[in-house]
Amino acid sequence: MNANVLKIARLPDMLTERLFADFAVLDSDEQGSGLGEGAAHIRALVANGESKVTRELLARLPALKIIVVFGVGYDGVDVAAARERGIAVTHTPDVLTDDVADFAMALLLGIARGTAPADRFVRQGRWADGPIAFTRKVSGARLGIIGLGRIGRAIARRAEGFGMSIAYSGRTRQAVEYAWYADVRQLAAQVDFLVVAVGGGAQTLHLVDAQVLAALGPQGYLINVGRGSVVDEAALAQALVTRQLAGAALDVFEDEPRPHPGLLGLDNVLLTPHMASATWATRRAMADLTLANLSAFFDGQPLPTPIPG
Question: Could you tell me how many residues of this chain bind ligand DGY (CB under 6 A)?
Answer: 8
Instruction: For the segment 242-281, give every residue that binds ligand DGY (CB under 6 A).
Output: 277
By CB under 6 A, name the one of 28, 57, 68, 73 that touches ligand DGY: 73
Q: Least separation, in Å, of the C-beta of 296 and ligand DGY?
A: 19
- The residues assigned a catalytic role are 227, 256, 274
Q: How far apart are the C-alpha atoms of 298 and 289, rounded to whole Å?
A: 14
Kindly tell me which of 277 and 293 has the beta carbon lying closer to ligand DGY. Answer: 277
In the complex, least distance from residue 47 CB atom to ligand DGY, rounded to whole angstroms = 10
Site string for ligand DGY, 79-118 (x = CB under 6 A): -----------------x----------------------
The C-alpha angle 176, 181, 186, rounded to 5 degrees, equals 150
Containing 307, the helix (H) or strand (E) segment is none
Q: How far apart are CA 183 and CA 189, in angstroms?
A: 10
Cα dist. 236→14, 190, 211, 216, 277 in Å?
37, 19, 10, 11, 24
Which alpha helices (DSSP H) does 218-260 contain, by range?
233-241
**CA-CA distance, 41 to 5, in Å (whole number)?**
8
Instruction: Pick the binder of ligand DGY from 8, 66, 72, 207 (CB under 6 A).
Output: 72
What's the closest the beta carbon of residue 152 comes to ligand DGY, in angstroms? 14
Residues that bind ligand DGY (CB under 6 A): 48-50, 71-73, 96, 277
